[in-house]
Amino acid sequence: MFKLETRNANLWYGEKQALKNISIGIEPNSVTSFIGPSGCGKSTLLRCFNRMNDLIENTKIKGEFLLDNTDIYDMDVYELRKKVGMVFQKPNPFPKSIFENVAYGLRIVGGKDRNEIKDKVELSLKNAALWDEVNGILNKPALSLSGGQQQRLCIARTLAIEPTVVLMDEPASALDPISTSKIEDLIYELKQKFTIVIVTHNMQQAARISNKTAFFYLGELIEFDNTDKMFTNPQNERTQNYVTGRFG
């Protein structure tokens, strides 16, 4: 069974159709990359999986969007976002301490005492490969961290509420090469516990970290296959042109 799935998914922003008959199945405990030129629909589809598009006026959606075979649009959005976390392009830590950034979601969810929150914060920072760098400065402002550390903190904050899916919208595009490498290593490790879907413009990044890759163009899913095959033997000429840098 697929962890995430769409069947004939269509989406419009006003009159503009951003997604056209997208059917895709994403396997559990895997990394799936969405690639394609700007404006091709990849971030739009990503945001459908935790209903972020609900916040945009004049959005119309048709088709099925499924999490564990349950229609996402039949679920309580609060419950959905506990199961499907999101990491954005630019690090967006809260103006709070490192500790409180990670603890924030746990307090919102409720039902956890102080010691349990402390343990969860530590585990989440370890899962985000940040614990060794911050365990002595947890009360320092999150904004005092470097950009790469802030992004890993945002990943820790997402992991703290124990989602099963983590969506990442170009999570390393604002980072330097060393920080990018750490994020990629982290993503590779996290697929043991989570299902990860990442939007990236970085072809090499998709090749390095993904099990499967989906190529989008003008709102359509052009090709979806094992990453190795997508980059060495794509079946569609448009995919071939994109991955070899002839357009996009």
pLDDT in tens, the chain (248 residues): 899 999 999 999 999 999 999 999 999 999 999 999 988 999 999 999 999 998 888 999 999 999 999 999 999 999 999 999 999 988 999 999 999 999 998 888 776 788 999 999 999 999 999 999 999 999 999 999 999 999 999 999 999 999 999 999 999 888 888 889 989 999 988 999 999 999 999 899 999 999 999 999 999 999 999 999 999 999 999 999 999 887 65
H or E element, residue 60? strand 59-67
The SS3 of residue 24 is strand
**Residues 65 and 73: beta-carbon distance below 8 Å:** yes
Write the DSSP symbol of residue 54: G
Here the tokens at position 67 are 């999490």
CA 45 to chain centre: 11
Identity at 106, one-letter amino acid code = L
Neighbours of 239 (CB within 10 A): 22
The SS3 of residue 219 is coil
Cβ-proximal residues to 88 (8 Å cutoff; 6+ apart), any chain = 154, 169, 171
Cβ-proximal residues to 242 (8 Å cutoff; 6+ apart), any chain = 35, 36, 37, 215, 217, 248
Identity at 93, one-letter amino acid code = P
Cβ-proximal residues to 100 (8 Å cutoff; 6+ apart), any chain = 94
Write the DSSP symbol of residue 141: B
